[in-house]
Amino acid sequence: MDIEPPRRWHTLKLALLWRRPQEPRKKIKIFLRLGDEYLRKGEVQLANYCYTLSKNLAEEAGTIHLRKKIENRLI
């Protein structure tokens, strides 16, 4: 039997990714990919959380083209 991990595990994983030292653009793309994956699985809240985290990173890094991608996915 496969048991789905609790939602807290997903948020903990996202928090660890947030704190992981990495180039901001790569981290933004990771959060976008995770958001797409959660959206495909039907986890809309987790997907929006990933998109929000990536949007915050994009604003800090000043990457306009990635911020536009994120805003299109949030709509």
| pLDDT one digit per residue (tens) for the chain, 75 residues | 455 555 778 888 888 888 889 898 999 999 999 999 999 999 888 888 899 999 999 988 888 888 888 888 877
On whether the pTM is more than 0.85, the answer is no
- Per-position DSSP letters for 21-61, written without gaps between them: ---HHHHHHHHHHHHHHHHHHT-HHHHHHHHHHHHHHHHHH
User: Cα–chain-centroid distance for residue 61?
Assistant: 15
The per-residue pLDDT for 1 is 44
